[in-house]
Structure formats: structure tokens, C-alpha cells
């Protein structure tokens, strides 16, 4: 019927059976950006926001989200993550990128039977949403863009790197 792994032959939703898959080391990296006005950027960088250190709060939210991915995304397996890292980096405007932004990158790891791409993507997404939530009172025009898988390692399909990943570092 389809090459989609979460749909069975009758078109019904299906949680993929990973029972026979080998346990291997797996990891995934993802990224995303939150664009904002200069005043909001300055407030974040100076840690002068009345809600506190919004970058630290977004970092914790991203880590927590990775751990709860199977509760948020239907048909995802609950995973025993061995490492989750979320890094938020304010990026001042440049000639190539004239609007201030915060770059968010996640790295998720485990030894298991299925990959951690969704956990890495969820970590970035929720960190970005948290940053937006913390700052929306001062900048409703913020936008979240560019959430993507950068790289994955392990499993049957091996190593994958997004073509733009080498340029994003």
C-alpha cells in the first residue's frame, strides 16, 4: 500500500514493531531559530527579562520535551534516553542575517532499537515555543523557523546528514 511505516496494509495507524531490531547506539541532532526584534534580543542577552533567564528556562523545557516525546507525538515509542543536550545561542544581526535570532540545537542519544530523531526535533520545537511564550509580551512578531533534522547516526539506515548541516555550524 505505502512506504509509510506507521500505516498498515489496510491504511490503519500502526506503531512500528521494533522487537526484532538490534540495540545500537543512536543519536540525532536538530536545529531551529527564533527571530525577534532588536529590543527583545537585547533583553534576552542581558538577562534583563522580568521573567528571568529565558534561555535557561527554554533549555530545560527542550530537555523535558525530548523525554516526553512519546506522550506528544502519536505512535512514537517511549525511549530510555541516555543524553539530551539543548543549546540556545543568541546570534546578533550580520550582513547576511539582518535580523537578530536565537539558534537552538539539540542532541539526543540512546542505546536502543529505534531512532531519536523525533526527540531531537521535539526538543528544539518546545524550546522555541517556550522562548516565544516567555517573550511574547514584549514581541508578538517573533517567528519560529527552520526546524530540521541536522544529522542522525545508528540503526539500519546508518548515518544521515542534512545537506545544509555542515553550513549551519
CATH number at residue 72: 3.30.70.640
Inside any domain, residue 157: no
Inside any domain, residue 77: yes
Active site residue 139: no
pTM for this structure? 0.88
Inside any domain, residue 144: yes
Q: Which of 3, 42, 95, 133 is catalytic?
A: 133
- The secondary structure of 1-50, three-state, reads CCCCCCECCCCCECCCCCCCCCCEEEEEEEEEEEECCHHHHHHHHCCCCC
Number of domains in the chain: 1
Inside any domain, residue 29: no
Per-residue pLDDT in tens (0 to 9) along the chain, 169 residues: 357 676 777 777 777 778 778 889 999 999 999 999 999 999 999 987 777 899 999 999 999 999 999 999 988 999 999 999 999 999 999 999 999 999 999 999 999 988 899 999 999 999 999 999 999 999 999 999 999 999 999 988 889 999 876 554 4
Amino acid at each position: 500500500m505505502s512506504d509509510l511505516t506507521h500505516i498498515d496494509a489496510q491504511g490503519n495507524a500502526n506503531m512500528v514493531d521494533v522487537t526484532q531490531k538490534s540495540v545500537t547506539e543512536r543519536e540525532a541532532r536538530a536545529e531551529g531559530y527564533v527571530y525577534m526584534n532588536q529590543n527583545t534580543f537585547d533583553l534576552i542577552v542581558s538577562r534583563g527579562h522580568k521573567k528571568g533567564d529565558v534561555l535557561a528556562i527554554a533549555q530545560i523545557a527542550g530537555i523535558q520535551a525530548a523525554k516526553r516525546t512519546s506522550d506528544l507525538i502519536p505512535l512514537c515509542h517511549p525511549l530510555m534516553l541516555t543524553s539530551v543536550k539543548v543549546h540556545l545561542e543568541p546570534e546578533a544581526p550580520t550582513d547576511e542575517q539582518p535580523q537578530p535570532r536565537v539558534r537552538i540545537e539539540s542532541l539526543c542519544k540512546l542505546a536502543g532499537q529505534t531512532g531519536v530523531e523525533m526527540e531531537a526535533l521535539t526538543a528544539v520545537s518546545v524550546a522555541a515555543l517556550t522562548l516565544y511564550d516567555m517573550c511574547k509580551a514584549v514581541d508578538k512578531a517573533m517567528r519560529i523557523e527552520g526546524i530540521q533534522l541536522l544529522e542522525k547516526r545508528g540503526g539500519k539506515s546508518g548515518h544521515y546528514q542534512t545537506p545544509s548541516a555542515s553550513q549551519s555550524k
